[in-house]
Amino acid sequence: QVHLVESGGGLVQAGGSLRLSCAGSGRDLSDDAMGWFRQAPGKEREFVSAITRTGGGTFYTDSVKGRFTISRDHAKNTVYLQMNSLKPEDTALYYCVAGSRYLPNREDRVDYWGQGTQVTVSS
């Protein structure tokens, strides 16, 4: 059974940084494109970032470009999301996702979901 386990969330002041990690078990994540979604209270879940299988391609939603960086470490079977210059509007539950066939930049392209890690940015 595949598990994606996120960590690294927490409470941070605006302008601060957090690094989210997503560790995989039950599956070699190097077979998958990986990504992150988020869902803020009262809002729909939205795509945040994705990275190709090789790590050679990265993609971001416009609101996080220049502030967030996605990366992956195949040896550790882990994907990261470095979040800098955080804003209160980044407050959300962040989900790690994996796509075995497509880049998971849409929910219908996601094959596996993590349980989520909460990020709260205070003003």
Query: 50: how many CB neighbours lie within 10 A of its CB?
Result: 26
- Residue 35 C-alpha from the chain's centroid: 5
Question: Please, which residues bridge with residue 70 across strands?
Answer: 81
* Close Cβ partners of 63 (under 8 Å, ≥ 6 residues apart): 89
Alpha-carbon span 76 to 80, nearest angstrom: 11
Could you give the 3-state DSSP secondary structure of residue 86?
coil
Starting at the earlier edge strand, list the strands of the sheet with 68-73.
3-7, 18-25, 78-83, 68-73
C-alpha distance across the termini of the chain, in Å: 40
Percent composition of the chain: helix, strand, coil (DSSP 3-state, to 5) = 10, 50, 40
Q: What is the pLDDT of residue 49?
A: 98
The pLDDT value recorded for residue 25 is 87
User: What residues does 122 pair with on adjacent strands?
Assistant: 13
Consecutive 10-residue averages of pLDDT for the chain (123 residues):
92 98 90 96 97 96 98 95 98 97 96 97 97
Residue 26 has a pLDDT of: 86
